[in-house]
Every structure is written in structure tokens, then in C-alpha cells.
Structure 1
Amino acid sequence: MTVTLDTIELLQPSSTHRRQKGGEGTALLPHFIAGPENAFALFVCRQQESISLRGNPLLLVGPTGCGKTTLAMTIATLELEQHNGDASMLYLPAADFARNYTNALSADDLEHFRERTDSIDLLVIDDVHSIAEKPSSQEELAARLESRDRRGMPSILTCRRLPSEFRGIRPLLASRMLPGLTVSLRLPGQEARQTIIEQLCQKNSLKIDPDWIDLLCRGLPDSLSVRRLAAVVNHLRLLDENKKPIDAVAIQAAITVASGGNEPTIGAIAKAVARRFQLKTAELKSSTRRQQVVRARALAMYLGRQLTASSLQQIGEYFGGRDHSTVLHACRKTSELLASNSQLSQTADEVREQLQTA
């Protein structure tokens, strides 16, 4: 079955619209290329109605590298164009919003901070998940979003997942982020990935036989962003510049490099899990049977089995010299718990996401 791809030109608001620099990241390609996985996102981009009418705030949700920020800036540009150039935009990473709020609070200048945030024609807050552990900043952002909505002022937000799926996001902020229009974005699917690689090759003046490109696309992991795909093409470009043939061996090497970048070490997994459970890595390796440590250790073993090629014996060796049957039991028990314990399942998802973006 033939899959139809769609594209939209990536845009940036002009400097005359901006009230603060930021969000100008250099796009690797001039267009966003979407397969069925992101068709709805491009449909939303093309809507002529103001964000304040189609759903305010507009929330873009998706994993790191899926294009949330670039699409947010494209939508912002199209929104500003409806004002015939007489509009202003404020782009802020959520961490900067929190920092500005804290500074205004310390300087007893909240009134000015709030008026500036509320009155700007278009507000873009990027990576809201980054303030998951800052409750006062979350409450302030929720209040500003509510105030802007009452005024009919559009806002665009981005977040890795739905705010209700982050334990650190307060219900108040989640309730202000979700009533508008939520658009889910995904990493490029198989068809989009192939077109992206072909265009990256053209951009780098790299000529590769279509059969090799097809082999490359079929062998690459699904969880690769456009930036990671560009790194694969760059690997092949360097081979070509060094007069090395682009053949099956070179393609397999590129696949191995890309796949290897996705595999964390057991140590990295243990460290990430320990941090989520507010433990030390040494405790996961110890002989303690405290329930919190046992559960964290079992989750780390399970993720080690899922995310690496390490054997049960190798995983057991890392966690204090435990034998393979202990690791196998921990993995089976954790697999059962993940199906019934939503909090543990969410923790596992958060660790996976952290390791994939490290």
C-alpha cells in the first residue's frame, strides 16, 4: 500500500515580532516531512483560524527530537501573519519562565512580570516538563494561562508527554494546559524516514544507490529523530569523502552506529532508576532487602534486559554478583507489576525517555 507523505515549510517569526530571542534552532531541512503518524499535526498547522478560536492553549506533545519546537515556531509565525505584522511574540523555555518568575518575586516586581506575560500577543512556552519539580512556578504559569485565555490571547505550549502523565506536574497546571487543542507528535515513521534520509543525502551532495538507502531505512531503529538520521548520513558522507565505497558493509556499519547510540549501559540504567527512587546506586548493588530498594533494583534489572544486549549473568554481576536466576525472577516479577502498577509503569517510561535523550 502506498503511503502519502505531506510537507510544510518551516518558518521563524521575524525579529520585529520577538520580545526575546530564543527558539531559533537551525532546522536540518527546510520542510517538516510527515507520514500518517504526524498528518494531524500538519492539518492543524494549516488552519486559518487563530489559536484563540481553535483551542487555547495549543499544546504540542511528543518525544525529544520529534519537531515540537520547530512546528511551534512555524504555527507562531502563521499566527502573527494574521495580524499584518502588528503583533508581538514572547518565546520562553519553561525553565526561563520559572527563573524570570523567581527573579521578579525576589525583586518585588511581580506586577510588571505578570502584565508583560499576560499582554504579549502570542506566548510560546517550550518544554513545560522541565518545571515538573517547581510547584510555585507551575502555579504561576497556570494563572498566566488562565488570564491570557480570559483576554483571548493565544498561547502555544510544548511538552514531552501529556501533563497529567508527569507526577511532578500539579493538577492545576495540567487543567490549564489541556482544555485547548492538544496535538500529539511522533518520531518519523518508516516512509517519512526514507524521504528524510534521501533529502539529507541531497543536501550533503551524497549519491547513494536507492537500494542501499532502502536497506539503511529498514535496518535503522524506529526511535530516531531527524537529528540522529542526519548523524547517520554524515557518517556515510565522511566515508564517501575518504574514498570508501558505500556498499552493504558501509550501510551495516552505519546501522550499527545508530543502533549502538540507543543502547545505554547497565550503569547508566542503574543510576537513572536509583535517582527516580531517591536512592544511591550502591544501594541497588547491596544485599539489603528493603522493599523500596528491591523494587528499584528489579526495575533496573528489567530495563537492563529490555534496553541492552547484556545477558542475565552480566546484569547480575553488576548488581552485586547476583546469579542469573535471581535476575530472571526480578524481570518476570517486574513485568507483571508493570501491567498492574501505573506508578511503576510511569517510572519505567520516564527512565527510558531519559536514557534515550541522554
Structure 2
Amino acid sequence: MFSIPLDASQFVVRRSRRRDSGPPLNLREYIGGDENFLVQFAAECVVEGRAGYDPIVFFGQSATGKSLLANGLALLWKQHNAAAPMVAVAGAEFAREYGNAVQTDSMQDLRTKYRSTELLVIDDLDETAGKNGAQNELVVTLDALRKCGSHVLVTLKDSPTDSKALPAALASRLSSGLTVPLLPPGLAAGRAILKRLAVLNEVPIPDESIELLGKSLVSTGSSWPTVPQLNDAVLQLYQLSQHEQEPISLSLTARFLGLQNAACRPPLRSITKQVCRYFNLRSTELRGPTRQQRVVRARGVAMLLARQLTNKSLVQVGRHFGNRDHSTVLHACRKTQSLIQTDPAIRQAVEELTLQLSTL
């Protein structure tokens, strides 16, 4: 785990916000785990101006931190090199400047600007796709900067060798340095980001809920969430808490996740199996007629979990647990909810079983 402090509030590269980009994030740091171990080294190379690694290219899908790193590292570099010239632009802006220079016969001014800098940062170079003149000019510019020992930082959606937006000559120049993939956060980084986002959004989320959110959002499913998606999860969980007039807890978090993705809801047989294993009971005992206290309490836990983690009705839950009527299920759920407030053992059972069942 590592964190790179970045000031995301002062963008060096100015760009319009995409319509689908959601509310702005206040996360002013890049938090990474083992999946992004190269990012920390690359960041140090940029800020310290280490020779031998240029150009440095960050590439990855949308919302993996490319622009945050490009802007933040440019600012950090400038803080260490206040008197040194730096140019930081978006790919589309570079293409526009090139077009204007051609039209106004001011190419020499453009070349002086870009070839006399000690650090060149181009965010989202994919925006130059199809701009052959601008891309050819950038090839010559990169050669000139390499010759004088200047540093270059570029961001792309794909690696230079795989990008369809770049001509072969430009891809060759960019792939000659340090190419760093930016991956969505893994489990450890996801948990750390969720904790930080909860603090920034002033949403009180207990550690066990963070753990459940992390495991459910990060380690399961075919695609891992980006930081904006993790931020959305924090805000939506808070909204559910306000709607239910209930503080965020493990059970509320489990209900939230169930609402987010019905496919993650455990079947009743899985709930029965896990509860029996936890309380050391047989399925026939849990679903049978016995009124022994330890069985009744375990059955109440199972019924509550069935209501919280699935979309089954009271009638369906009652039918599964020995053809009991809906009023019996409702009473058992209310009794268990009351015990959660007074009995630490029941509270621990519900929390641990919720975590197990939500990450199956």
C-alpha cells in the first residue's frame, strides 16, 4: 500500500468536464496497492527528475487516475523546480496550438515553447488521433527534448504499442521509456480508498462495513470499480441510511449491496447452511419444530438474514423454514433485531454471517 499526496484542486492541464463524469472528487492523493506498484516508482522519477526513464507513460481505462497523476505530479515537480520552464497541456490543446501555428505562420514560436521546457506533460494524448501534422510535430519535439535531457510525462488509454490513436513513429518514441499501466484498485487499496472517501464525504462508516463494501465491490464481479464508483457507493450508502433513518451498520451495508445487485443475493439454502455451521446445528433442527432456545435464536438469525439479504417475502421465508406462517417470521425477525441491541453474541453472529454470505 502506498499513497502519493497530490493537490487535485489546482489543475495544470485545463479541460472541460465530461457530462457523465459525475460530481467532482475531493480525493487529493493517489492510493495504490500491489496491482499498481510501478506507479510510485514512476512518480518519484517524475518529481525527482531522474534520468534514463523518459518518456514516462501512464495508461489505463477511464477514471483510473491518469489526469490526477499528470496534474498532481506536474505541480509537485514545479514546487521542486520553481524557476524551471514546464509545459502541461491536454492532447487536444496541443493539436489546436499546432493548427493555429500553421495558420498564423508561427511554427517557430510553437517549437520554442515546447522544445525549451524541462518538463512536458501531455494528458490524454489520444485526443490527437487523426491529427497527423500535430503528431508528426510531437515526434520531432520528443527527439529534441530527449537530446537536451528534458523530461516527458504522457497519459493514454492504451499502451503506446497497442494504441490505435498513434502513428508508428510516435508509438515508438513513447514506448522507449517507462510505460506504466494504471489498474483499478485491488482489495487493499479499495478498502483504503473507501475509508478516505468516507472521511472526505463526512459519512461515518464502521470498519466492518468498509470491509464488506471492499470485498463486495472490489474482489467480486467481472469488473473492478474505479474511484468515482467507490465514491458513489459511499454516497448511496449514506442516502440509504438517511432514508431508513438508521446508522450505517453491517446489516444496512449488506442490504445496500443486495439492492445494488440482485445477482449477489444468496439463496435460502446457503443461508441455512452457513447458519447451521455457525451454530453447530443440523438443517433438520433449524427448519424443524423444536423450540429449544439455542435453535430458536439461530432460526431467528437465519430468518432475519433471509429478509435482509434476499428479496424473499415473509411467506417465502416461512415456507422455507418449516412452513411457518408470515407472522411467525415477522416476530422472529423483530425479536432478533432486538437481541442485536442487547446480546453481543447474537450481534456478532449476525455480523459475521452477513459478511460470509455477502461475499460468497
Query: TM-score range, shorter-chain basis?
Result: 0.5 to 0.7
> Partner residue of 2:29?
31
Question: Quick one: which amino acid aligns to residue 158 of structure 2?
Answer: R
Higher-Rg member (1/2): 2
Determine helix, strand or coil for the equivalent of 1:165.
coil
Superposed CA offset, 1:169-201 (max 9, x none)? 100101111112222221111111111112211
Paired residue secondary structure (1:92)? strand
- Measure, in 2, the Cα distance between the counterparts of 1:23 and 1:47: 29
Identity of aligned residues (%): 27
Q: Are 2:7 and 1:6 equivalent residues in the alignment?
A: no
> Counterpart in 2 of 1:272?
none
Matched, 1:195 2:192: yes
Q: How does 1:336-355 map to 2 (within 5 A)?
A: none
How many correspondences in the alignment?
252
Equivalent position of 2:126 in the other structure:
129
Distance 1:201 1:48, change over 3 A: closer
- Whether 1:92 and 2:89 are equivalent positions in the alignment is yes
The 1:215/1:12 distance shift into structure 2, 3 A limit, reads closer
Please give the secondary structure, in 2, of the residue aligned with 1:206. Answer: coil
Tell me the residue number matched to 1:186: 183
Among candidates 144, 151, 156, match of residue 154 of structure 1: 151
Secondary structure (helix, strand or coil) at the match of 2:136 reads helix
Asked whether the 8 Å contact 2:90–2:125 carries over to 1, the reply is: yes
Do structure 1's residue 236 and structure 2's residue 232 form an aligned pair?
A: no
2:228 maps to what in 1? 227
- Alignment partners' CA distance in 2, 1:181 and 1:23: 28
Q: Please give the root-mean-square deviation of Cα atoms over the aligned residues, in Å.
A: 3.0
Q: Deviations over 1:210-252 (max 9, x none)?
A: 3332222222244211111111111112223345334545544
What aligned pairs does 1:12-161 form with structure 2 within 5 A after superposition?
Answer: 21=14, 28-47=26-45, 50-51=48-49, 53-83=51-81, 85-161=82-158
Contact 1:13–1:73 at 8 Å: present in 2 too?
A: no
The residue type paired with residue 2 of structure 2 is: D
Distance in structure 1 (CA, Å) of the matches to 2:262 and 2:130: 32
Structure 2 contact 87–121 (Cα < 8 Å) conserved: yes
Note closer, same or farther for the CA distance 1:225–1:174 as it changes in structure 2 (3 Å cut).
same
Change (3 A) 1:48 1:167: closer
Give the equivalent residue in structure 2 for 1:173.
170
Is the partner of 2:161 in helix, strand or coil?
helix
CA contact (8 A) 1:52 1:152 kept: no
- 1:217 is the counterpart of 2:214: yes
Q: Deviations over 1:156-179 (max 9, x none)?
A: 111111122123310010111111
Quote the Cα distance in structure 1 between the aligned partners of 2:196 and 2:100: 45
Aligned letter for 1:233? V
How has the CA–CA distance of structure 1 residues 194 and 27 changed in structure 2, closer, same or farther, with 3 Å as cutoff? same
Deviations 1:91-147 (A, max 9, x none): 111011111111111111111111111112321101112222222221111111111
TM-score (norm 2): 0.62
**Aligned-pair distance for 1:53?**
0.7
Could you tell me which residue of structure 2 aligns to residue 280 of structure 1?
A: none
After TM superposition, the structure 1 = structure 2 runs for residues 197-346 of structure 1, keeping only pairs within 5 Å, are 197-220=194-217, 221=221, 222-245=223-246, 246=248, 248=251, 251-254=254-257, 257=260
Q: Which whole-Å CA distance do the structure 2 matches of 1:13 and 1:205 have between them? A: 19
Deviations 1:292-337 (A, max 9, x none): xxxxxxxxxxxxxxxxxxxxxxxxxxxxxxxxxxxxxxxxxxxxxx
Q: In 2 relative to 1, CA 151–228 (structure 1 residues): closer, same or farther, beyond 3 Å?
A: same
Is the 1:23–1:73 contact (alpha carbons within 8 Å) kept by the matching residues of 2?
Answer: no
User: Unaligned regions of 5+ residues in structure 2, if any?
Assistant: 18-22, 264-360
CA distance in 2, matches of 1:117, 1:258: 49
Residues 1:217 and 1:189: Cα distance change in structure 2 (over 3 Å): same
Taking structure 1 as reference, are residues 148 and 61 closer, same or farther at Cα in structure 2, changes over 3 Å only? same
Distance in structure 1 (CA, Å) of the matches to 2:50 and 2:109: 24
Residues in 1 aligned to 2:9 and 2:238: alpha-carbon distance in whole angstroms: 33
Asked whether the 8 Å contact 1:40–1:183 carries over to 2, the reply is yes
Kept in 1: contact 2:64–2:182 (CA 8 A)? yes
Q: Secondary structure at the match of 2:27?
A: coil
Question: Which string of whole-angstrom CA distances, capped at 9 and with x for unpartnered residues, describes residues 239-266 of structure 1?
Answer: 2334533454554445654899xxxxxx
CA deviation after TM superposition for structure 1 residue 86, in Å? 0.8
- Structure-2 residue corresponding to 1:276: none
Task: Return closer, same or farther for 1:230/1:157 CA change in 2, 3 Å cut-off.
Answer: same
1:21 to partner: Cα distance: 5.0
Deviations 1:13-36 (A, max 9, x none): 989xx7x75699965323221110
